Amino acid sequence: MPTVTMTVNGKQVSADIDPRTLLADFIRVNLDLTGTHIGCDTSQCGACTILVNGDAVKSCTMLAVQADGAEVTTIEGLAENGEMHPMQAAFKEHHGLQCGFCTPGMVMSAIDLVKRHPNPDEATIREELDGNICRCTGYHNIVKAVKAAADATGG
Amino acid sequence: MSETRENGIGAAVRRKEDNRFLTGEGRYLDDINLHNQAYACFVRSPHAHARINGIDKSEAESAEGVIAVFTGEDLAADGIGGLICGWGITSKNGEPHKAPPHPALAQGKVRYVGDHVAIVIAETPEQAKSAADLVDVDYEELPPVVNIADALAPGAPQIHDEAPGNECYDWEIGDKAATDEAFAKASHVTRLEIVNNRLVPNPMEPRAALADYDPGTDMLTLYTTSQNPHVARLILSAFVGLAPEHKLRVIAPDVGGGFGSKIFVYAEETVVAWAARKIRRPVKWTCERTEAFLCDAHGRDHVTTAELALDDEGHFLGLRVSTKANLGAYLSTFSTAVPTYLYATLLNGQYKMGAIYAEVQAGFTNTAPVDAYRGAGRPEATYVVERIVERAARDLNIPPEEIRKRNFIPPDAFPYETPVIMTYDSGNYQLAMDKANELIDRAGFPARRAESEARGKLRGLGYAAYIEACGIAPSAAVGSLGAGVGLWESAQVRFNPTGSVTIHTGSHSHGQGHETTFAQIVSDRLGIPIENIDVIHGDTGTVPFGMGTYGSRSLAVGGSALMKAVDKIVEKGKKIAAHLMEAAVEDVEHNNGVFSVAGTDKQVTMAEVAFAAYVPHNYPEDLEPGLDETAFYDPLNFTFPAGTHIAEVEVDPQTGKVDIVNWVAVDDFGNIINPMIVEGQVHGGIAQGIGQALLENTVYDAETGQLLTASYMDYTMPRADDLPSFNVETTNTPCPHNPLGVKGCGEAGAIAAPAALMNAITDALGVEIDMPATPEKVWRAAQSAQARAAE
């Protein structure tokens, strides 16, 4: 069994794992960070999106061994000193979530989006979130939340 | 409710539950693990229709990590019954609907791809999945039938011995003679053939189950993704026979969306719960997405012929509807009610409809069971009524808003009895229509259309003036129509000695925001800060028996139960306050958590009263200690949310692409507790309706019965860039028969949207097409329309 070592939410973790273990399963099962959700089998829904070295990645598309040495951030690692990340706060303020299942992945994708498009218009936000499926909100308030977070972070 | 209190009724309070969902601290089913748990994988039929001549499980049983393999024989040997359908429908000929057995694991035959054959339980999920492939099932393939028209035709493959010709029921409602008469004197008849496409609900959290048996207490606990844990417990206990009701605890924790599909009691949850006791270890099963496509109950799937009789001024004289409904291979929990009492009773729409006659023939096919999906029957009814009304307007050259105006039930006509057994309670349909026309700039449409045309594009405007019956439902009424349960709701308001409050509700939130809305009601009424109120739901071990959440019922029924419990708290509180203030009870007034004596400056707070109730040192002699009240509320009628949605589209005839350029929704939900949450519900509903009209379709191969759309690679879910932003507003005619005056908002969007969008697309194209309006279909229609125009 190979050993993987990575930094997850600022903490170094190491484990011996079955080489076929997906990064999504490693996070959920080995690290018990269950905020990262699994919503499909085909890397379509985006519920498992996390940040790997700062980039949004669907964690079901990566083997855990591929993340060896990487810096990983999950939804649990966003808040600082009990203060939600501006993107999390914007989702709450603009009711960008209902059942909450797609939300962690959506927030992660949105953070990556704003990093690449500091001042996105509605069309850009919609196009960039195309990899994350939400069945509850119709995306209307998600788009508002992302725009507000971008504005708040000085986009 | 004149002024809006901070965090009270009418305030857009930010949701209490969001903190945990946004930080990864939600607890969905797959996030829960129990010590020593084993993992289940189901062996599913690869065939749509086959006889099982034998099952050899020996190789699977000896595979690494396998604990047990069970089949239908094992369930039967333990006396575990099949799954039930809880609503009886009586056919035209007086016979009850055909109810063939629905074993949780197949007995001798499989009837759709994905049908449950065996459960494999192993130490790890991977081992269970690998071993499931080793279960050797000897299938003898039979010809399948997947379309309802084919299934009901003579000579179709016979799916159940108990249902000759694959018919479940042939039902009717309305007055046939009066309707025939209306058509005889009509000056115009509009006829429409309509297909309502089959959908897969697709909540983002797949179903899952985790069961645990405690031999010490003989308690079987089932954690499951349910919208109604008490109903699940009742069925699993009384009908399936898993355990006595008091020895079965069903817990539905954070549930990631439902849309109807998590109402039902399925095979997997049933078998997992039974197996946990059998092997004396916790057993966990988590559905994969393709399994969800195969086995979650689907929605819609109607084929309808509708005819509308009109006089020469466009008044609706009569409506005749004939529908064939596909119920799939087995009857799901409430499947029979959806194409009957949840559908045909809404065919009256918002109109004075002279006479109505509807018949529904429902049957079995080799496809997944079909049951309630967001709107459940009401989207199908609205789609029939609003498509044919729009068609009639075009036939008679009357503007679509004008033909509706001529036929709307006027605001002074309520209560209004329809020809299809509903009594509408309140509404103002023209008001919503006028507001919607204003918001979409109806007057400016011709200019916008001309401008599109100049660019080679086709612009269309489509209306849906929908009505739905929500707040399900008066128990006596639904009982008389065949329901096996009552549809009241429960609520408990429990004060703690320090003045904080725990609310228990029998309804269930899987995204709707009960933890906030219900807390707002209690905060508003009892003056308790919202942060000191917790809402608990979803656990039969802690919450009073409740009927759960579906049919936009939580607030209208569950919220009303909560209001009744609040009233009881106030009533008892007045007695305690009177004692503390040394006043007569009848002189004590209550307002927002403060008890006072009329005409004096004496007052005590709710917190002081709660403390006195639990530390009753100075307390009325004849009063029980404690401040903890439970109430049950059985509604007097359905509620009837209604409104107008208008879609404006631009179609590119060169590519068939439909752009939704504007969407206006004006809904009458009665009073509103939290406008932010209500708007969100409308957005989500519209998105699902647009999904149905534009993108989503469930396709079974007619030859093999294989599901061709069984993943997100094949089934087109609406994504952010498929949808516009929505212009959502409300009107308010309060519900006259529940204490909050609320009507329900969860399904409106999904009910209104398909008709509005298809009316807009067909307006642009000038020809009729069926859902989903994919680019290919739209392109072909545009080409044929242009070819016709050139002739």
Among A51, A60, A101, most B C-beta atoms within 10 A, so best to mutate, is A101
CB B167 within 8 A of CB B387: no
Tokens of B645: 């949605």
Give me the sign of the Cα torsion angle B712, B716, B718, B721: positive
**Cα–chain-centroid distance for residue A1?**
28
- Residue A154 pLDDT > 80, yes or no? no
Per-residue pLDDT reduced to its tens digit, B124-159? 999 999 999 999 999 999 999 999 999 999 999 999
Averaged pLDDT for residues B81-95: 97
Amino acid at B334: F
Residues 6+ away with beta carbon under 8 Å from B702: B146, B147, B150
pLDDT higher at A153 or A143:
A143
Tokens of A15: 């484990």
CB-CB under 8 Å, A143 with B721: no
CA distance B726 to B663: 5
The verdict on A42 touching B (C-beta cutoff 8 Å) is: yes
Please state which of the four CATH numbers 3.90.180.10, 3.30.365.10, 3.90.1300.10, 2.40.30.10 is assigned to the domain occupying B302-473+637-790: 3.30.365.10
Same domain, A106 and A127: yes
Closest residue on chain A to B711 (Cα): A42
Averaged pLDDT for residues B230-234: 97
Query: Which residues of chain B make contact with A84, given a CB cutoff of 8 A?
Result: 19, 22-23
Q: What is the pLDDT, as a whole number, of residue B1?
A: 42
Averaged pLDDT for residues B172-181: 98
> How does B480-518 read in b/e, with b if 16+ C-beta sit within 10 Å?
ebbbbbebbbbbbbbbeeebbbbbbbbbbbbbbbbbbbb
Residue B172: strand pairing partners:
B359
Amino acid at B319: L
Q: Which of A44, A79, A138 sits opposite B684 (nearest CB)?
A: A138
ipTM of the complex: 0.98
CB-CB under 8 Å, A138 with B726: yes
Look at chain A and report how many structural domains it folds into. 2
The vertex-B222 CA angle with B217 and B224, nearest 5°, equals: 165
Q: Which of A97, A98, A134 sits opposite B22 (nearest CB)?
A: A97
**Cα–chain-centroid distance for residue B151?**
27
Q: Which of B203, B679, B686 sits opposite A99 (nearest CB)?
A: B203
Same domain, A63 and A99: no
Q: What is the pLDDT, as a whole number, of residue B3?
A: 64
Averaged pLDDT for residues B217-222: 98
- The CATH number that applies at residue A63 is 3.10.20.30
Residues 6+ away with beta carbon under 8 Å from B52: B106, B108, B109, B110, B117, B137, B138, B139, B140
CB A139 within 8 A of CB A147: no
Strand order in the sheet with B167-174: B167-174, B355-363, B316-326, B302-310, B188-196
The vertex-B184 CA angle with B181 and B190, nearest 5°, equals: 110
The verdict on A116 touching B (C-beta cutoff 8 Å) is: no
CB-CB under 8 Å, A92 with B18: yes
Query: B330: how many CB neighbours lie within 10 A of its CB?
Result: 25
Residue spans of the domains in chain B: they are: 32-142+204-257+262-295, 302-473+637-790, 488-633
What separation in angstroms does the CA of B137 have from each of B52, B58, B140, B214, B700?
7, 11, 10, 33, 23
pLDDT higher at B644 or B1:
B644
Fold (topology level) of B32-142+204-257+262-295: Aldehyde Oxidoreductase; domain 3 (3.90.1170)
CA distance B704 to B46: 10
CB-CB under 8 Å, B723 with A140: yes
Among A42, A99, A106, most B C-beta atoms within 10 A, so best to mutate, is A99
CB B491 within 8 A of CB B506: yes
CB-CB under 8 Å, B203 with A101: yes
Q: What is the mean pLDDT of chain A?
A: 97
How confident is residue A144, by pLDDT bands cut at 50, 70 and 90? very high
Domain B488-633 matching CATH 3.30.365.10: the answer reads yes
- The CATH number that applies at residue A125 is 1.10.150.120
Averaged pLDDT for residues B21-33: 98
Return contacts of A147-152, CB within 8 angstroms, 24+ apart.
Answer: A147/A120, A147/A122, A148/A90, A148/A93, A148/A94, A149/A86, A149/A87, A149/A89, A149/A90, A149/A91, A149/A110, A149/A114, A150/A114, A150/A117, A150/A118, A150/A119, A150/A120, A152/A86, A152/A90
Same domain, A72 and A118: no
CA distance B700 to B622: 68
Q: How far off is chain B from A130, nearest CA to CA, in Å?
A: 6
Identify the domain boundary among A35, A56, A77.
A77
Per-residue pLDDT reduced to its tens digit, B727-747? 999 999 999 999 999 999 999
Tokens of B767: 């020809």
Same domain, A102 and A66: no
CB B250 within 8 A of CB B540: yes
CA distance B142 to B161: 14
- Among candidate residues B668, B669, B665, the one with its CA nearest the CA of residue B645: B665
What separation in angstroms does the CA of B350 have from each of B178, B321, B673, B763?
20, 17, 25, 22
Q: Which of B20, B27, B720 sits opposite A129 (nearest CB)?
A: B720
- Residue A99 pLDDT > 90, yes or no? yes
Amino acid at A90: A
How confident is residue B688, by pLDDT bands cut at 50, 70 and 90? very high
Q: For chain A, how many residues are written?
A: 155
Burial class (CB in 10 A: 0-12, 13-18, 19+), B568: middle
CA distance B481 to B472: 13
Query: Which residues of chain B make contact with A141, given a CB cutoff of 8 A?
Result: 679-680, 683
Q: What is the pLDDT, as a whole number, of residue B4?
A: 76
How confident is residue B74, by pLDDT bands cut at 50, 70 and 90? very high
Averaged pLDDT for residues B596-612: 96
Closest residue on chain A to B124 (Cα): A29
CB B257 within 8 A of CB B688: no
Q: How far off is chain A from B299, nearest CA to CA, in Å?
A: 15
Averaged pLDDT for residues B321-329: 98
Q: Which of B24, B205, B684 sits opposite A33 (nearest CB)?
A: B24
Residues 6+ away with beta carbon under 8 Å from B369: B297, B298, B327, B328, B329, B330, B331, B332, B335
Q: What are phi and psi of B22, to 5 degrees?
A: -80, -15
Residues 6+ away with beta carbon under 8 Å from B18: A91, A92, A97, A100
Among A22, A25, A26, A40, most B C-beta atoms within 10 A, so best to mutate, is A40
Per-residue pLDDT reduced to its tens digit, B740-771? 999 999 999 999 999 999 999 999 999 999 99
Half-sphere exposure of B611 (CA within 13 A, CB side): 8
| Percent of all residues in chain A with a pLDDT value above 90, rounded to a whole number | 97
Same domain, A67 and A22: yes
CA distance B425 to B668: 12
* Structural domain harbouring A70: 3-77
Identify the domain boundary among A19, A43, A77.
A77
- Residue A155 pLDDT > 60, yes or no? no
CB A98 within 8 A of CB B512: yes
- Residue B7 pLDDT > 60, yes or no? yes
Per-residue pLDDT reduced to its tens digit, A25-58? 999 999 999 999 999 989 999 999 999 999 999 9
| Helix, strand, coil shares, percent, chain A, to 5 | 40, 15, 45
CA distance B757 to B461: 8
Q: What is the DSSP string of B444-498?
A: GHHHHHHHHHHTT-EEEEEEEEEE--BS---HHHHHHTTBSS---EEEEEEE-TT
Among A1, A76, A135, A147, most B C-beta atoms within 10 A, so best to mutate, is A135
Q: What is the mean pLDDT of chain B?
A: 97
Element (H, E) at B608: helix B606-614
What is the DSSP-derived secondary structure letter of residue B216?
T
Query: Which residues of chain B make contact with A93, given a CB cutoff of 8 A?
Result: 14
CB B80 within 8 A of CB B104: yes
Averaged pLDDT for residues B401-405: 98
Q: What is the pLDDT, as a whole number, of residue B350?
A: 98
Per-residue pLDDT reduced to its tens digit, B337-357? 999 999 999 999 999 999 999
Identify the domain boundary among A44, A77, A110.
A77
CA distance B364 to B353: 32
- Residue B472 pLDDT > 60, yes or no? yes
Q: How far off is chain B from A31, nearest CA to CA, in Å?
A: 12
Query: A30: how many CB neighbours lie within 10 A of its CB?
Result: 16
Q: How far off is chain A from B257, nearest CA to CA, in Å?
A: 5
Query: Which residues of chain A make contact with B287, given a CB cutoff of 8 A?
Result: none
Same domain, A69 and A14: yes
